[in-house]
Structures are given as structure tokens and as C-alpha cells.
Structure 1
Amino acid sequence: MTTATRQGILAVVVAVGLAIVGVSVAVAMGDAREAFAGSTAATPWAARVLLALALAWVLIGMLAARTRLVRRPGAAAARASWIASTRPWRARESTLGMLTFDRVLLLVVPGGLLVATRAVQTSFLSWTHLAIVLVAWAAFLAVARVLIGRASPYPFVAAVGGAVVLRCILSLVVMSFADPAAALAALWATPVVRVVYIAAAFTLFVWVFVAAGWAVGAHLGARRAVGVVIAAMGAGLALPATIVAAIGVDRVVGGGVDEVGLLSWVLARAFGVMDALDLPGAAPWYAVGLGIALVIVGLVLVRVSPRVR
């Protein structure tokens, strides 16, 4: 059995495992129909445009991997993004010899799509939520870049960016309906569809971090790669949680169900538990503490295996 075959089998096993966990999460969440409200008339059209662009990016990446299209400007970036997100063990080879323009696109295209998708998802109303999301991802990428050190950061960027694009596509499909709120309400009213959707969303989200670690593991080593991802995740949690604690939970979540949909509903329930314990204001600080703990654990793992291959 070749190395590529073993890696592919392992990837399938990981994906199936994540899907099983996602199903468990979906069942635990129950019915969230009350989480969704109406959206502006422009939202579906904006989502359709973004969906078309995202699908075009993925399609170019798929075709460029096997045709001469890879010679076109930007096609190499789309190819690397597709390969790194679906076969992260090939991320390093997929980014070799890329031009500066393609390297910029590796970050700009997924980043721009993420920002635009979040803006559409909140109906261009919750700029606070959008800012917090951007801060989280910026912290994640910045810490990862520092810890990767002398090694090339582009395999990491390609894997994360490609996985983010796939996650955005799932969200945009639902938002492309004529009435996203009605579509989501109908989706949540059907248990099987609800479970499948949440499981897919959970799997794609977690896969972002799995692919990130896998992509840099070839030249950093498995232990150090895990440390990089854990530390970056900790920073991506601690910094936005600090912001939430500073501006107040009520301003972020309170009254925000109409703006941030499922995320707000999950946060609202989480903070509802804290409220029942008479500790609603402490929730963000617990998140800050967890983020700092993850950073420490990640740094320890990176330090244990400091040598770059």
C-alpha cells in the first residue's frame, strides 16, 4: 500500500469520525428554528453571487490540477487551495514554485470570501460580530505564522484557505434561497435534514484545523504541527473573547438572534446556562482562560519538538 493511499484512507477515517461527532452535536442541539429571522431582500442575491464565485474557484482548482489551466494567472493558487484542503499531506508540493501573485491569492480569496459570507449571513447588520470573527481568524493566522518560523507558511495558508472556502460554500447554499429564513426554518423542521446539515457544518469547520496541522506536519513534524494549530486556536479564542468581555455579552448576543442566526442561538444557550448559575458575565473570561491554556499547551508541544525537517 502506497503512502498516498494510506494518507487517503486516514483522511476518510478522520472525516467519518468528525461526521459522527457532528451528528451527536446536532442531536444534542435539538430544534433551533427560533434562531432564524428574516433577512434583507438583497441577501439571497448577494449569496448567489458569492456562491458562484466560490464554486468557480473550486472548479478552477479541480481542473487546474490535471490540465494546462494551471499556467493561467491565479489558477495555481486555486489548484493549491483545492489540493491542500482535500489532500493536506500534499499541501507542500502543491505550493512549490508559486508566483507572488498566486501566493497573495491564497490568502486574499478565502479571506475575502469569509468576510463577505459573514456579512451576508448577518444581513449586513451585525458589524460587531463580523469584527470579532475577523479578529479571531487574524489571531489564528498570526500566531501560526510566528510558530511555523523558518518553514514555508504557504502549505498552511493553502490548507486553511481551501477548507474555509468549502465551509463558506455550505453556508452560501442555504442563504441562496429566495427566503433564507424560511429555508432555514424548513430545514430545521426536518430532523434528518437538520442533523445532516449540522454534521456537515461541524465536519467542515473542524477539518479546517485538521488540514492545517496535516499540511505543515510534513516539514515540522507531527507533534510540532499539532502544537502550532493548538496555540493558534487558543489565540483565536482568547483575543475575541477578551473583546466580548470588554464590550459586554449583552451587546454581542443580546438581541442578536436576528443578526447572527445559528451562532447567536448557540451562544445564547451557552450564556443562558451561565445565567442560570448566576455567572453570565464570567463566560467570556472562561473562554479567555481556555484560550490562554491552549496557547500554553501549544507552545509546550512546539518547544518539545523544535527541529524543522
Structure 2
Amino acid sequence: MTNWKIYDPQSPQATQKVTLPPAPPWRQPGQGRERVLATTFRPDPAVVDAVNTALYLRRPLLLTGRPGTGKSSLAHSVAHQLGLGPVIEWAVNSRSTLQEGLYQYDALARLQYIQQSSARTNVGEQDKDVEELGMFLTLGPLGTALASAHAPRALLVDEIDKSDVDLPNDLLNVLDTGRFVIPELKRAAARHPTVKISSRDNECIEVHRGEITFKEYPFVVLTSNGERDFPAPFLRRCVQCQIREPDESELQDIVAAHFDNLGEDMSTIISEFVKMRSTVTLATDQLLNAVHLLLSSDKPQSAAERQRILDTVFQGLGG
């Protein structure tokens, strides 16, 4: 590109669909994004100690910190380093329930399936219904992490502070007991003790008598932006870790992990970011966004244009 602008009202209208420039590596969908998150995260020693403590004690890791400090990236980094497979993600909101995390049952789809089925014989009809039941049950993110044959897995429960007040303790209760029950299968266990259902990873899981037990705890990362206080019993059952904002030297390392062939002027951008961050709330990924934009053109921008880019990206996050 000779000009960083894709959209320019002063330019002639495109005669065909424009080919967009490559996305930032951390904004590539799918495995590309996961790989970048896993390999570019730079934890400080306190975070490394907290991760190892959680792994030894089989306790969830409760990560707090400002947005953009890498809380979610840590889960990907640990899973990548330890070969735990793809991170299972659960984005929590105020309507999230424990059942949603464990499994989903599509009762309406099953009813429609039964109604549309061809003629059935009365003999064996109940058994067939039980077999069909597994087609409409799917393990949720928590259930998948607990039941996976490839345990231990890594489970990221994102923004747990946005959840209903009871969800955090309910979640830890399941982890403490080492099992959970699917009532729909429990009621049918006498007629059909084993039913196969699918996990979130499309893994086939055999459920015996409506109950799933697990012998290995997943590595659980609970992230919080500090929007609410948790009760002491919940905090006692977690390993707590506050991710601090990286200093200027650490930001240099983070930027270097994402980009090659950085010019000396990028040090000036980082210094300006740190100076701004002392007065308004900024996230590290805003710095990465700015660097990506400034490197997206092979034609040097003017000082005024560079400043407009920085003003666009370095918007305060409040708080």
C-alpha cells in the first residue's frame, strides 16, 4: 500500500470489491488468533507463580486486572505450553446459568423430531425415545472441560464478575464434588443406563446412569475486571492473581513479540502511550493497534497524520 487509507471519500469509487489488507495477527479468526494469543503473551513472574500454584492445587485461577492486560491470553498461553489442546471458552453474562455451562437440552427440537418420525411400534418405543434423547443434549463449555477424554483441558470463564450472584459458587461446587448429573438422562437410566451425547468439541461422551464423573480437574481461569467483590468463601477456593499493567520495558517486549523490523520511532510511540496511560485508562491492545496501523503503509505518514492515527486509537476506556 502507498496510502494507509482504505476508505477515502476523495478517491474514485472502486470498480470492483476492494481487497482488504491483512488483518492484525491477533484479529485473525479461528486457530490463527489462538496461536497468536498463546505465543505472544508475556507473563511476569508473579503470574507464572500463580499459574503453577493453581496447577499444583487443582484450584481455579481468578485473574483480575484492567481490560486489555492479557487475562484471556494467559489461558491460551498455558494450554499451548502444556499441550492441553484448544482452550474451551465460556463468555459469561448476567443471564448465564450453571446448567448452560454444563449442558444444553433442546426439548422443543426433540418434540418436533418425535412428531415427525415415521410409524413406531408400541414395543420398544420408550427405549427408542431414550436413544433419541442423546441427539438433543450437548455438553456446554464447563461440561466439556470436565468430561473430555483428553483431560486435563483448559477452561476460560471470561468476565465472571458479570454473572448472576450465585453462579461463581455453583461452579466451584461442581468442581469440588467431581461429578454432575443430567436429570433428563437420570430419569431414563433404568430403561437405558448408557447414552451417548456430544461435547462442545464434537467428542462423543458416554453418560452412565445420567451422571458424569471426572478424575482430573481442568485448568480453570476465571477473569474479572474488578466490577464486583466476591465473597470470602469463593475467594478461599481460588488462587488469586492481579495482572498489573506492563511497564515501558515490558511493552517493548510485547510489541516486539507481535511485529518484526520495528523502527526506532516505535519506541517514541510506546513512550507516548505510557505517558497517556498515566492520565487516562488505556489497554495494551490499543498500543498494538496503533503500531499495526502505523506499519500498514509503505509510505511514511506525515507527523500530522500519525498524530491523527494515535488520537483515533488512544481513546480512554473510562474507569
- Give TM-score scaled by structure 1 length: 0.23
More helix by share: 1
TM-score by length of 2: 0.23
Bigger Cα Rg: 2
